[in-house]
Amino acid sequence: MEQQMNENGIKKKFNLAALFAPTDMTEGSPGKRIVAFAIPMLIGNIAQQLYNTVDSIVVGRYVGDNALAAVGSASPILNLLLVLFVGISVGASIMVSQYFGAKQREELSGSIGCSITLTAISSVIIMILALLVVRPLLRLLNTPDSIMDWCASYLIILFVGIAGMSYYNILSGILRGLGDSVSALVYLLVATVLNIILDILFVAVFDMGVAGVALATAIAQAVSAVMCIFKLARMKDIFDLKLHYLKPEKKHSADMIRLGLPSGFTQAIFSMAMIIVQSLTNSFGEMFIAANVIIMRVDGFAMMPNFSFGTAMTTYAGQNVGARKYDRVEKGAREGTIIAAVISAVITSLILIFGKYLMGIFTETKELVELSMHLMQILAVGYIAMAVTQCLSGVMRGAGDTMTPMWISLITTVAIRVPLAYGIAWMTRTPELPNGRNECVFISLLCSWVLGAVMTYFFYRKGAWKKKALES
């Protein structure tokens, strides 16, 4: 009996260790591997979304609807100034997954070291740039004077602490590229709990307002980044984290830029488009701005399975392309996309049924709740289309084809969404509605999502992504 208990104890210890270990996704059932990898990421994305959601709830409840609008108006600028980091993150994740799949320790070590150094450089650049352009960009957005100072203080605090945000995201991306989505999840959960505690402390107790929310987020993300560093430093059996690897080699830097630049450029284009659309959004007044914030928070949760499966597909495809198992990539793409689409359909149904209750969490203003729900109904069915887009784009990125998703995003965002939003607004102008109908913002977004899914499926089927793998 004692011997059996000891054996069980050893087994449990082993399983726990295996849970936090890198996962080789080149073996086993593709669907099961993808789901097992995606679940911790989904939980992590829920926690990530809680950052923004708790911020919005605390601000909306303790400060007011105008402060809620301020946090929302700041988001497009935040996303725009993070494009350098986005590029590095995507490039690093692809390289890590392919080199890990190919079992190339030296190349893996070099790519990780290169990403750490480039992230440091990018963090400094973004911080300096942000301090110079925050207020001019807010004025460009036609940000109402009533929320201008709140927007500015929120953004400046976040960008001063940008290193924590940058390093958590890049290092957790490296962990996921190695097949370890659980560690990144645990560190994010710790940071989320800390963020909630600090939100309440800074805003409800110390009455710091919007600035308190930004400070809480910056501190929590810095803590999660430090935990990621300690985890990677202990993974000596997989790669070497030595000083000479921190010096970016030409090959690794060039590959990271080649792979990451399209994604960074996509983020820049998307953010610029969001800024243009945000200017249109702001023209409809504080009530519509606040409604937009609420919808985007609910949207964040609705989109989580799609983003989770998309990232899982990137890692899965990267490892299997590195191992040159293309048939396995296609099988996983098919199974992962179907699962993601089914989950999105369920979430869409829940939003349509219980949406009003969700909106009511953020504000007690009845008109704001009703407006938010009306606009959310327009958007809801688009999440199924986004499941297809995210999964198949993830496959192409993991294989090394980051250009095709970039062009699709460019076309759907710049050539479709922006002109359509302003076109509908212009066509629906009346003496009672001098700026047109506010539904234009969300109708245009739905159209871009659906078209993006069709285009992504077409280019995935063409199969050009199969020729983009890194050279061994």
Radius of gyration of the CA atoms of the chain, in A: 22
* H helices, E strands: number in the chain: 17, 0
Q: In whole angstroms, how far apart are CA 42 and each of 48, 55, 186?
A: 10, 20, 12
- Kindly report the number of other CB atoms within 10 A of residue 151's CB atom: 26
| pLDDT by 10s per residue, the chain, length 472 | 444 444 444 444 445 455 555 667 778 888 888 888 888 878 877 777 666 677 777 776 667 666 666 666 666 667 666 666 667 777 777 788 778 777 778 888 888 888 888 888 888 888 888 788 888 877 876 777 777 787 788 888 888 888 888 888 788 878 877 777 678 778 888 888 898 899 888 887 888 877 888 888 889 889 989 998 888 888 887 887 777 778 777 777 777 777 777 777 777 777 677 778 877 888 888 788 888 878 887 887 788 889 889 988 988 988 888 888 888 999 999 999 999 999 999 988 988 888 888 888 877 788 888 888 988 889 888 999 999 999 999 999 888 888 898 899 889 988 899 999 999 999 999 888 888 898 998 999 999 999 999 999 999 999 888 887 766 5
User: Could you give the 3-state DSSP secondary structure of residue 168?
Assistant: helix
pLDDT at 79: 67
d(CA 73, CA 75): 6
pLDDT at 11: 43
* pLDDT digits 0-9 by tens, 128-141: 887 888 888 778 76
pLDDT at 147: 74
DSSP string, 387-436: HHHHHHHHHHHHTT--HHHHHHHHIIIIIIIHHHHHHHHHHT--SS-TT-
Contact of 383 with 344, CB cutoff 8 Å: yes
Contact of 30 with 18, CB cutoff 8 Å: no
Task: Dig out the tokens for 350 from the structure.
Answer: 């829940």
Exposure class string for 335-372: b at 16+ Cβ within 10 A, else e: bbbebbbebbeebbeebeeebeebbbebbebeebbebb
Comparing CA positions, the residue from 409, 388, 411, 235 lying closest to residue 313 is 388
Cβ neighbours for 316, distance < 8 A, ≥ 6 positions apart: 25, 30, 33, 34, 37, 329, 332, 336, 395, 398
pLDDT at 22: 63
Tell if the pTM clears 0.85, that is, is over it.
no
For the chain, which residues make up each domain, given as ranges?
28-466
